[in-house]
């Protein structure tokens, strides 16, 4: 994307084409302006357009340019935070509401994909959160207990059952979450864009919003090519935020995360590695993730940025790790490599902001944005349509707060991941 093979890698090669778009030129009016063409913005656009509202989406670069087009593609249910800790963080009402909403998030994503016939390599076979050592096993056992008491279809697998599903014996067990799955993220977000446009939304790419000023009772949202006047503005710019909502970016600590994809594996290897095609990640602090794409490429990722010395260090580490995980692979070469930045918040939970009257947005998904972005986009639409009051939202309104030592923490993540991967030989 934008001629950078390390921005969207494999996903750019295999995604469906986006709708044909052009930059905003001139002066327009709409009910709602949405800033940002990722899962959040396009889900909001789709649901508002389906309800008959006039919607203009302004995307600074291209559809899926941010996290939505770069991620691993794990459609997770819930957040990193342990289910029982959410009510403690947010209070009982918001805590249980968020759990319920995000627990059903993958189902919402899958039903949108079905309804709109989005070709995005959807796999509905669940995810495996794999335990590294005793402490990892304790963590997933507790996580399973907390979800099971809420009736969620999660299952604890022992080491042998895990080995049979993944094709490696390195894990002490795994949490199988049958609600979850995987998809091709850039294809999904482009599919959302097609669906929103078909429903009547107008989408302009190459249209960075540079200002948002009062205009009577509404807002005038300007790009270098023109402006749109609207009653409501949805800010869906998250970790890639620029322009008037740069404070959304400043509220987050960015964690770099990379992915590498092998060539399509031959059939015998495909039947020995992840034959059930679940998405996988592990309990390590510097975690690893892997999954198959529909052509049988193994997509392997971890924390780190593929730039400067990081590129060689992380690729070397990934080769050593795969050799240990799956010796049957033999020497591995990667066909694609790419990375992006994950927006982390200080309590690992997303935020809902009302920046001004009728200027609202969710952000800070902490690496869990496919289902939450889709669900929160729908929630924003419901709020604008008057179906959900502010008290009915899944998160309370909060101010943007800059975390202390943000730049230092970001440098620590990038350099720390390099040191860990340089020294580390294995998972």
Ligand X SMILES: Cc1cc2nc3c(=O)[nH]c(=O)nc-3n(C[C@H](O)[C@H](O)[C@H](O)COP(=O)(O)OP(=O)(O)OC[C@H]3O[C@@H](n4cnc5c(N)ncnc54)[C@H](O)[C@@H]3O)c2cc1C
Choose between 61 and 144: whose C-beta lies nearer to ligand X.
61
Choose between 240 and 326: whose C-beta lies nearer to ligand X.
240
Stretch that binds ligand X, among 111-119, 143-151, 233-241, 312-320 (CB under 6 A): 233-241
Are 320 and 287 in contact by the 8 Å Cβ rule? The answer is no
345: tokens are 């918040």
Write down the least CB distance from residue 61 to ligand X, Å: 4
Residue 312 Cα to chain centre, angstroms: 25
Report the 10 Å Cβ neighbour count for 425. Answer: 10
Residue 196 in contact with ligand X, rule: CB under 6 A:
no
Stretch 242-281: interaction string toward ligand X, x if CB under 6 A: xx-------------x------------------------
Residue 220 in contact with ligand X, rule: CB under 6 A:
no
User: Contact with ligand X (CB under 6 A): which of 208, 218, 304, 394?
Assistant: 208
Write down the least CB distance from residue 287 to ligand X, Å: 11
Give the number of residues in contact with ligand X, rule: CB under 6 A. Answer: 41
Residue 39 in contact with ligand X, rule: CB under 6 A:
yes
Choose between 35 and 157: whose C-beta lies nearer to ligand X.
35
Whole-number Å distance between alpha carbons of 120 and 141: 32
Residue 47 in contact with ligand X, rule: CB under 6 A:
no
User: Contact with ligand X (CB under 6 A): which of 137, 175, 228, 370?
Assistant: 370
User: Contact with ligand X (CB under 6 A): which of 126, 369, 382, 394?
Assistant: 369
Choose between 18 and 36: whose C-beta lies nearer to ligand X.
36
Whole-number Å distance between alpha carbons of 239 and 365: 9
254: tokens are 């960015």
Are 363 and 67 in contact by the 8 Å Cβ rule? The answer is no
Are 379 and 108 in contact by the 8 Å Cβ rule? The answer is no
Residue 177 in contact with ligand X, rule: CB under 6 A:
no
Are 174 and 105 in contact by the 8 Å Cβ rule? The answer is no
Residue nearest ligand X, Cβ-based: 369
Write down the least CB distance from residue 366 to ligand X, Å: 8
Residue 382 in contact with ligand X, rule: CB under 6 A:
no
Count of alpha carbons within 13 Å of 306, Cβ hemisphere only?
A: 21
Choose between 239 and 313: whose C-beta lies nearer to ligand X.
239
User: Contact with ligand X (CB under 6 A): which of 9, 36, 126, 296?
Assistant: 36
User: Contact with ligand X (CB under 6 A): which of 9, 41, 95, 136?
Assistant: 41
Stretch that binds ligand X, among 10-18, 21-29, 52-60, 306-314 (CB under 6 A): 52-60
Mark out the alpha helices in 243-308 (DSSP H runs). 246-250, 267-272
Phi then psi dihedrals of residue 299, to 5 deg: -105, 115
Whole-number Å distance between alpha carbons of 339 and 362: 23
Measured CA distances, 400 to 22, 190, 284, 290, 348 (Å) = 32, 29, 30, 33, 14
54-93: contacts with ligand X (CB under 6 A): 58-61, 65-68, 70-74, 76
Residue whose entry in the numeric block shows the structure tokens 């998030």: 105
Sign, CA dihedral 11-17-18-24, equals: positive
348-367: contacts with ligand X (CB under 6 A): 365, 367
Residue 373 in contact with ligand X, rule: CB under 6 A:
yes
Residue 233 in contact with ligand X, rule: CB under 6 A:
no
Residue 130 in contact with ligand X, rule: CB under 6 A:
no
Are 22 and 274 in contact by the 8 Å Cβ rule? The answer is no
Write down the least CB distance from residue 150 to ligand X, Å: 20
Residue 209 in contact with ligand X, rule: CB under 6 A:
yes
Are 195 and 46 in contact by the 8 Å Cβ rule? The answer is yes
Stretch that binds ligand X, among 47-55, 155-163, 239-247, 382-390 (CB under 6 A): 239-247
Residue 342 in contact with ligand X, rule: CB under 6 A:
yes
Are 250 and 406 in contact by the 8 Å Cβ rule? The answer is yes
415: closest CA among 313, 315, 337, 276?
313
235: closest CA among 246, 224, 226?
246
Residues making contact with ligand X (CB under 6 A): 35-41, 58-61, 65-68, 70-74, 76, 208-209, 236-243, 257, 340-342, 365, 367-370, 373
């Amino acid at each position: 994307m934008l001629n950078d093979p390390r921005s969207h890698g494999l996903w750019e090669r295999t995604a469906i084409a986006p709708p044909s778009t052009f930059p905003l030129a001139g002066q327009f009016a709409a009910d709602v302006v949405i800033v940002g063409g990722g899962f959040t913005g396009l889900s909001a656009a789709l649901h508002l357009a389906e309800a008959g509202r006039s919607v203009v989406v302004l995307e600074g670069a291209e559809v899926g340019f941010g996290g939505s087009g770069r991620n691993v593609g794990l459609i997770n249910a819930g957040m990193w935070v342990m289910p029982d800790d959410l009510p403690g963080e947010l209070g009982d009402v918001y805590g249980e509401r968020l759990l319920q909403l995000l627990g059903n998030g993958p189902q919402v994503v899958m039903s949108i994909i079905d309804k709109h016939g989005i070709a995005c390599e959807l796999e509905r076979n669940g995810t495996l959160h794999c335990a590294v050592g005793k402490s990892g096993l304790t963590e997933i056992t507790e996580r399973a207990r907390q979800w099971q008491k809420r009736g969620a279809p999660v299952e604890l697998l022992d080491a042998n059952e895990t080995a049979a599903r993944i094709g490696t014996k390195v894990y002490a067990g795994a949490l199988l979450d049958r609600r979850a799955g995987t998809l091709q993220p850039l294809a999904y977000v482009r599919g959302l864009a097609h669906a929103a446009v078909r429903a009547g939304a107008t989408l302009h790419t190459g249209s960075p919003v540079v200002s948002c000023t009062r205009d009577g009772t509404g807002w005038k949202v300007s790009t270098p090519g023109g402006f749109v006047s609207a009653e409501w503005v949805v800010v869906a710019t998250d970790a890639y935020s620029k322009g008037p909502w740069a404070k959304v970016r400043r509220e987050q600590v960015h964690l770099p995360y990379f992915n590498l994809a092998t060539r399509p594996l031959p059939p015998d290897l495909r039947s020995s590695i992840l034959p059930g095609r679940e998405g996988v990640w592990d309990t390590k602090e510097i975690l690893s993730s892997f999954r198959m794409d529909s052509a049988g490429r193994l997509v392997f990722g971890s924390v780190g940025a593929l730039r400067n010395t990081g590129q060689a260090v992380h690729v070397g580490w990934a080769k050593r790790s795969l050799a240990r995980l799956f010796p049957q692979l033999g020497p591995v070469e990667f066909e694609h490599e790419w990375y992006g930045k994950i927006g982390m918040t200080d309590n690992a939970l997303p935020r809902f902001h009302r920046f001004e009257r009728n200027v609202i947005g969710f952000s800070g998904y902490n690496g869990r944005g496919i289902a939450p972005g889709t669900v929160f986009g729908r929630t924003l639409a419901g709020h604008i349509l008057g179906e959900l009051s502010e008290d009915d939202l899944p998160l309370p309104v909060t101010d943007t707060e800059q975390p202390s030592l943000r730049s230092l923490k970001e440098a620590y993540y990038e350099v720390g991941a390099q040191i860990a991967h340089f020294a580390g030989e294995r998972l």
